Copies of this chain bind each other. A is one copy, B any other.
Amino acid sequence: MTFDLDQAMEILERTPRVLRAMLAGLTDGWVHGNYGENTFSPFDVVGHLLTGEMTDWIPRVKLILEHGPAKPFAKYDRYAQFEDSPNKSLAQLLDEFERARAANVAALRELRITPPQLAKRGRHPALGEVTLENLLATWAAHDLNHVAQIAKAMATQYEEAVGPWREYLGILRSPVTPMDADGAARRAAAQAAQSRPQR
């Protein structure tokens, strides 16, 4: 599919509703269970998506439009949610994400990005030069990546219960992406401070 900003917006606009449909009102086992050692639970994922809205996507869009590749993006802190959200409820996180995303979608519209601007370049601290199109497509694909990750964390709670059907369920065999040592330590510290039960 050729990139089209209006089509990307279709995804960005609906993700808060998708997360709410998947998670609001679930019992704790579904919300806080993860899919292997040092992996995100659905609760962690929503906190991570909220961090991105606050610190990452729109600031990077503006950096590309205003400075181009001269000024590299700030590093995306993938684990900030462990310090930011441990005392929040899932319902709070879902509300905050919905508000933050709505504000960012409005900000994106206000920029009135034209097709030629999609080719403008910025500098990622690790990946090097990227285009505005790359960034906006990644914003949408990153949402979908984490929707799939939430589904995997939830399905994993039934890894034993499904019995012989396990071999038919690709979601139970897809690759596991654990956090790095920094993430694991910060999660452990947040949990110790909170004594939230870990799976």
Check if A192 is an interface residue, CB within 8 A of chain B.
Answer: no
Asked whether, in the complex, the Cβ of A164 is within 8 Å of the Cβ of B21, the reply is no
Q: Could you mark each residue 130-164 of chain A with 1 if its beta carbon is under 8 Å from any beta carbon of chain B, else 0?
A: 11011101101110110111011011011001111
Asked whether, in the complex, the Cβ of B151 is within 8 Å of the Cβ of A169, the reply is no
Residue of A134, A154, A161 with most partner-chain B CB within 10 A: A161
Asked whether, in the complex, the Cβ of A165 is within 8 Å of the Cβ of B134, the reply is yes
Contact check: which of B11, B157, B173 meets A154 at CB < 8 Å?
A: B11
Alpha-carbon gap, A145 to B168, bound state (A):
10
Check if A181 is an interface residue, CB within 8 A of chain B.
Answer: no
Alpha-carbon gap, A175 to B148, bound state (A):
13
Asked whether, in the complex, the Cβ of A3 is within 8 Å of the Cβ of B158, the reply is yes
Nearest CB of chain B from residue A96's CB, rounded to whole Å: 18
Asked whether, in the complex, the Cβ of A141 is within 8 Å of the Cβ of B30, the reply is no
Asked whether, in the complex, the Cβ of B151 is within 8 Å of the Cβ of A137, the reply is no
Alpha-carbon gap, A167 to B151, bound state (A):
21
Check if A196 is an interface residue, CB within 8 A of chain B.
Answer: no
Asked whether, in the complex, the Cβ of B1 is within 8 Å of the Cβ of A130, the reply is no
Asked whether, in the complex, the Cβ of B147 is within 8 Å of the Cβ of A151, the reply is yes
Further pairs besides A137-B162, A141-B162: 6, Cβ < 8 Å: A1-B161, A1-B199, A133-B163, A134-B165, A137-B161, A147-B151
Chosen A-B contacts, 12 in total, with CB atoms closer than 8 Å, are A1-B161, A1-B199, A2-B161, A18-B21, A21-B21, A130-B164, A137-B158, A137-B163, A141-B165, A141-B169, A149-B170, A175-B175
